Structure 1
Amino acid sequence: MTEFRTQPGEPAEPDLVHPRDSKPDAPTSVSRLNDTIRGFVEKWGFVWVEGEITSWNLRSGNVFGRLKDLDTDAHIAFRIWSKTLQRLPRDLKVGDRVVACVKADYFVRQGDFTFTVSAMRHVGLGDQLEKLERLRAQLRAEGLFDPARRKPIPFLPHLIGLITGERSDAEKDIHRNAELRWPQVRFRTVYAAVQGDRCVPETIAALQRLDADPEVDVIVIARGGGDPQQLLGFSDERLVRAVAAASTPVVSAIGHENDRPLLDEVADLRASTPTDAAKRLVPDVAEQRALVRELRWRLTNRLTQRVAHDIAQLEQLRSRPSLRTPETMLQGREHELFVLVSRGREVLQRTMDAGGRRVDELRASLRALSPGATLARGYAIAQLEGGEIVRDAEQAPDGAEVVVTVGRGSFAAVSRGEVAGREAPGPVEHRA
């Protein structure tokens, strides 16, 4: 047993047990030992301690719980009186990492040792949120939050991969709402821790497993909300980059409407709750049937209107005179054709008559100018052997052979020379 000593100059407390005074033949009582321990404990002041809440029981307005060391399995028991509890954050619960101001208490009657909490708050949340914002800015600068890189969600997935906590309300909500909307929906679920140290590695492993499955069309990461401390795992850089690298579309269904972990920013679709994810993943079969009925009605109505319009147009065309009595149009055209043919024949006849007269005139002029007409009146043309026409008597001296052309034929002759005193051509000798 530890020796209890008084400070120098202080009188010894006669009611306290000191180890040097303890003897087997004169043992002390349990109550005196407890009084000694209480007296020693009461000398301690308030101490700030950090740990994780592992137990939180509310009884008669007071809280009785346990606090665990962050690195070991060491625990302490604590109590919070109702008046103190009213000053503490209302969201304290099991699993929270806190820093608490405690004072040791020892209950003499039961021999129990506990700590009374006078203040308690979440630890490190401000620093963590600051780091989170720096990481958000870094990932945004890298383009991981760019809407253009988001993959489209299939209209009706054949198989939905689900990552959530085992036997969680999130899993039940997604299954119930998805099956109400589309009873044939299929899920492939991989369980993972949704908070604590195992959250990030288990979620990444489940994501990689489902992403490698060719049957999975879309992956949902779901959790039923929580305080910012519990959702920090879904803002871990490793998980965010794993989701960005996935080839399968990923839906984030973490928390509630006001919860915004980084997973929401990088996911291909952000659902405000697991229920909202189920509603956005699969269509409502009743709505789709109603839509099909409406489209059928609209198609039938449109087709009926179009056929009725075309029939009316056809009847209107058939009622026109040109189609009702088409022979009238032909008769009018027949008369026009007769007039045009008659006029054409008349014009052609006049043109041919004028052309005949013109040909006769030209023929007469040609005959009048033709040498044949002159020859027919008794004239003749004398040509030398080379074809030269004799125009002068000197060209045909005595003995020159010439060809004489008359109105009807030609004959050969021999010149006897120029005949004096006559204008007519000189005598020629005929050659048979």
Structure 2
Amino acid sequence: MAEAGSNAPATRDAPWPVGLMSEKIAAWIDRLGQVWIEGEITQWQLRGGHVYGKLKDLGQDATVSFTVWRSVAQRLTSDFAQGDRVVALVKPNFWVKGGSLTVQVFELSHVGLGELLERLERLRRQLQAEGLFDAGRKRALPFLPGLIGLVTGRDSDAEKDVIRNATLRWPGVRFKIHYAAVQGDRAAGEVAAGIEALDRDPEVEVIVVARGGGDFQNLLPFSDERVVRAAASAGTPLVSAIGHEADRPLLDDVADLRASTPTDAAKRVVPDVGEELAGLDQARARMSARLGQLLAHETDRVTQLRGRPVLAQPERIVDERAEELVRWVARGTELADRAIEDRARSLVETRACLGALSPQATLQRGYAIAQLMGPDGAPDEVLRDPVDAPEGTRIRLSLSGGRLDASSAGSPAES
């Protein structure tokens, strides 16, 4: 197989040698130059004055080997050990012969307290600007949660304090516990995962994150942005019970309630059954006293009403109303009789007027009404002139005593 040129592209027919590829990788990595990195020392071995170790990322699963040559190690002013959080100036190197990547350390120092505080303060200001610390976001805890979610260390004093004190206050309380590391590089991810897992459980009504205090660096996971944002995103009310007054982690600010200790959290989350029973007894006593006062007051009112004269002799009301009723009946009868008499007198007068104006009165004086008979033999119009009744014309005469039919006798006589 022909040897490939250093600049020729690799193909199936003209592949690169392993050494060429390794040399190109080394050249690419060498162009990166020196960079500052931060991580946790997971391995620190001193051999022949040189230091060989490994540095792990603080947030994800990534590790790199490092070498501190004797000349640099002699200039280090601090002691370093596994678990230290450090900042280092390094230059990545790819070892062509072994095909491995290492970084050469030129400067190494612990992450200072001042730097950590500055980072926390920047994160605090950012979260505050987003409104995650606002009092309006705080939710009230349920009066008596049916199931309490607890994020804490396995077999920790914090777990025992919360469960023991909560059970003493309310024996029927139930817990769902999510164990997590509460310090170290795994703590932030596991605590955040515990909060999210308990928040997804519909039976969990309140979440308690508990740790039994510690120094500033041990409490750093509870100021980690992943933990703080998991707590802020939870739909379940959350109680922070880290148990450290001097160094207040950011979780305290975003939680719905901050408890000074895990014991205090247990007192805040569940009510005291003795106090509640005493409160019920007091409420029952107040209700009984109030009802007694109300009944006594109403009894006095009834007694006063019964002592009034109108109720002492209630028949007086009936007698007074009976006399009044008799007067109104008599008055009504009188008015009715008078109205009947007035109507009878008016009827007589009206009848007399009608009689005077009636045609019957005229007939009784000897007059008659003559009507022409129609073709059908029924009386038609009134006859007013003799010329309208030639001889033989049938007519009907209405007299005072009745009616009769007749025929005209001929031409009318001269007047």
With the shorter chain as reference, the TM-score category is 0.5 to 0.7
Which letter maps to 2:210? A
Residues 281 and 96 of structure 1, relative CA distance in 2, 3 Å threshold? farther
1:197 corresponds to: 185
1:283 corresponds to: 271
Q: Cα offset for 1:366?
A: 0.7
Distance 2:259 2:117 in 1: 22
Whether 2:413 is the aligned partner of 1:419: answer yes
Unaligned runs of 5+ in 1: 1-49, 53-68, 75-93, 100-120, 422-432
Q: Cα offset for 1:404?
A: 1.0
Q: Cα offset for 1:376?
A: 1.0
Residues 225, 259 of structure 1: 8 Å contact kept: no
Three-state SS of the structure 2 residue aligned to 1:388 is: strand
2:144 corresponds to: 156
Residues 194 and 70 of structure 1, relative CA distance in 2, 3 Å threshold? farther
Which letter maps to 1:265? D
User: Where do 1:174-185 residues align within 5 Å?
Assistant: 174-185=162-173
Whether 2:250 is the aligned partner of 1:262: answer yes
For 1:82-134, what per-residue CA distance to the aligned partner results, in whole angstroms no more than 9, with x for missing partners? Answer: xxxxxxxxxxxx988699xxxxxxxxxxxxxxxxxxxxx98432222222233
Residues 40, 83 of structure 2: 8 Å contact kept: no
1:272 corresponds to: 260
Q: Cα offset for 1:365?
A: 1.0
2:400 aligned residue (403, 407, 415): 407
Which letter maps to 1:343? R
Whether 2:180 is the aligned partner of 1:217: answer no
Distance 2:392 2:288 in 1: 118
Three-state SS of the structure 2 residue aligned to 1:224 is: coil
Residues 161, 218 of structure 1: 8 Å contact kept: yes
| TM-score (normalised: structure 1) | 0.65
Whether 2:335 is the aligned partner of 1:347: answer yes
Whether 2:236 is the aligned partner of 1:248: answer yes
Distance 1:303 1:208 in 2: 51
1:6 corresponds to: none
Residues 243, 259 of structure 2: 8 Å contact kept: no
| TM-score (normalised: structure 2) | 0.67
Residues 221 and 415 of structure 1, relative CA distance in 2, 3 Å threshold? same
1:206 corresponds to: 194
2:325 corresponds to: 337
Unaligned runs of 5+ in 2: 1-38, 42-52, 56-64, 68-81, 88-108, 375-379
For 1:213-235, what per-residue CA distance to the aligned partner results, in whole angstroms no more than 9, with x for missing partners? Answer: 55543221112333433222111
Q: Cα offset for 1:316?
A: 3.1
Three-state SS of the structure 2 residue aligned to 1:207 is: helix
User: Where do 1:26-45 residues align within 5 Å?
Assistant: none
Three-state SS of the structure 2 residue aligned to 1:317 is: helix
For 1:334-369, what per-residue CA distance to the aligned partner results, in whole angstroms no more than 9, with x for missing partners? Answer: 211111111111111111111111111111111111
Residues 166, 192 of structure 1: 8 Å contact kept: yes
Distance 2:131 2:276 in 1: 36
Q: Relative to structure 2, which stretch is displaced further, 234-243 or 411-420?
A: 411-420
Residues 151, 177 of structure 2: 8 Å contact kept: yes
Three-state SS of the structure 1 residue aligned to 2:391 is: coil
Residues 222, 252 of structure 1: 8 Å contact kept: yes
Q: Cα offset for 1:297?
A: 0.4
Distance 1:148 1:272 in 2: 21
